Structure 1
């Protein structure tokens, strides 16, 4: 219940409610006092008392970002990219906003600004991270926001899924440059990626101890989904891995003695040199090798569940973006079927 008293030249508003801290504040006009009291009562209806309101007033978005970066991010796979995104957030004007003044409008404006700079998928990932940060603050840090400010933000539709296949001349050019480069691991990394469809991080964690040459399988212990998987190997992959046995680390059996960044730099140098004689390869990314491998699995006649076993996709619908089959190959299959009828 709110009460109002005129003291000296000011109006004092006081809100009392059972189970909540009494809130008192003075204003120059009664209208301001009434507006404040209504706000406090609305907050009380949502479970926010004076002490919690003070926390919101004295805490900025940047403090939440820094706490999440220091306490939560280090325990995640992909922490480096998450730290980079949080660094981007900290440079925004809304990072200095106190939590009691947060609005969905500010983050909707941020979304629109970022869409002018980066692709929709990047914006989706950034908004998803912000939503997770505020959810953690609300659910685990007892920050009594009335709602997650990202909840009302419309996520952009992702329209940047790549449809990039690797042509034979491009592969030959890349492999030629990889063999001639100063990075001894690059040629094998390209070939093994094409034969297995492993992600870059999974590829660099391949250990000879995880290869079963008798069964032609490879255990992938560290994955994007956090769950290990056992994948079948092609004959070419088995031959390649056998040839790499002598180069395995004596302690952990790792086959690639390089960091993700070293692989990235080696790939960029190789691609740049290859583009001099084959200009179309200039836009080919290392991750596109995984896309190419998965597309080839489908072209070999594997079913979606079989490809998912190799690729590690939990959502089978995601595999449809990889199934850019060659229409000429499909036509050949159709004609073969009619010829055999």
Structure 2
């Protein structure tokens, strides 16, 4: 709030806003004082006042990260993975720095150090929660931060999107290895191939949302926050029929995300398959849907994509099948 008062021959203006230091200036003319006051009040409304060093001196980056982790991250669907990322970041010396001394240059140094061991795309994903944290701290927690120090950080992320599909005999090798284990919970990878469901969606699937007689499963909440109904192929139905239903266990595949990740790593290792991620199965399934002749809207209704451009990033038809199709069309 601005206060204008006459002191001697001059007009003094004071700008006061909770959480920010008082700003004052004197003018010979009242009109100039009023104009200056309007300028700074507008800045105050946009949270652009200079930060209060005393408040920022009392909070370290690590303390801010811990509050964000404990108050915000726990409410997210991906809380487990994001917590792991933030806990790892908390071990970095940068977290000891006070907010008053934190700058984009500090994160630039951190970026350059981290890029020696991880890709730019991975680092960008890890920094995304921190950027959101600064915005929430400023807008909702009343912490008088200046500009988000990550907003000007340059991240030269290369387009390294994956187009990995199953190669010849890889599926047979995975199935052969999986049959040697007594644990039927290795079946999620086959189910992913039939449905194009994400790992998190498969692990969150409950028996009460599965209708085997009508061959569909309901996903109440997906990555984009929307529900959808996924049709089940005959093979998907047969896979679910061999999964045991346990009393008081509502989940179809009662596995933790990390347990499934480790199971997948063991499975691919025993099958002698390299560079095949569980998420690549979603890529494979979507590409197969297109090869079967499903339209873009039909595939999108199964995969849950709302942006056709994102959907087409997953669609990579097998070159040999396309060649055969062209040969038949030109015959």
Q: Same fold (TM over 0.5)?
A: yes
How many positions carry a matched residue from both structures?
300
The residue aligned with 1:258 is 255
The residue aligned with 2:134 is 134
CA distance in 1, matches of 2:23, 2:143: 19
- Contact 1:62 / 1:95 at 8 angstroms: preserved in 2? yes
Instruction: Give 1:248 shift.
Output: 1.7
CA distance in 2, matches of 1:192, 1:331: 28
Alignment CA distance shift 1:18-1:129 (3 Å):
closer
CA distance in 2, matches of 1:104, 1:43: 25
The residue aligned with 1:120 is 120
Counterpart selection for 1:318 from 310, 313, 321: 310
TM-superposition CA deviations, 1:144-200 (whole Å, max 9, x none):
2221111111233243311211124111111111111242211x2222111011111
SS where residue 147 of structure 1 aligns?
A: coil
The residue aligned with 1:95 is 95
Alignment CA distance shift 1:113-1:304 (3 Å):
farther
CA distance in 2, matches of 1:210, 1:258: 17
Alignment CA distance shift 1:234-1:96 (3 Å):
same
The residue aligned with 2:169 is 169
CA distance in 2, matches of 1:226, 1:162: 24
The residue aligned with 1:229 is 228
Which has a greater percent of helix? 1
SS where residue 283 of structure 1 aligns?
A: coil
CA distance in 2, matches of 1:153, 1:304: 37
- Contact 1:299 / 1:325 at 8 angstroms: preserved in 2? yes
TM-superposition CA deviations, 1:26-72 (whole Å, max 9, x none):
xxxxxxxxxxxxxxxx9999547799331112222111111101111
CA distance in 2, matches of 1:49, 1:213: 60
Residues 1:267 and 2:264 aligned together:
yes
Counterpart selection for 2:282 from 281, 286, 290: 290
Q: Alignment RMSD, CA only?
A: 2.6
- Contact 2:65 / 2:133 at 8 angstroms: preserved in 1? yes
Counterpart selection for 1:327 from 319, 324, 331: 319
Alignment CA distance shift 1:93-1:253 (3 Å):
closer
SS where residue 185 of structure 1 aligns?
A: helix
The residue aligned with 1:53 is 53
CA distance in 2, matches of 1:254, 1:66: 31
Structure 2 gap segments, 5+ residues each: 1-11, 25-38
- Contact 1:205 / 1:222 at 8 angstroms: preserved in 2? no
Q: So what's the TM-score if we normalise by structure 1?
A: 0.79
Instruction: Give 1:135 shift.
Output: 0.4
- Contact 1:216 / 1:233 at 8 angstroms: preserved in 2? yes
316-325 or 145-154: bigger deviation: 316-325
CA distance in 1, matches of 2:180, 2:218: 31
- Contact 1:174 / 1:271 at 8 angstroms: preserved in 2? yes
- Contact 1:127 / 1:155 at 8 angstroms: preserved in 2? no
CA distance in 1, matches of 2:268, 2:123: 27
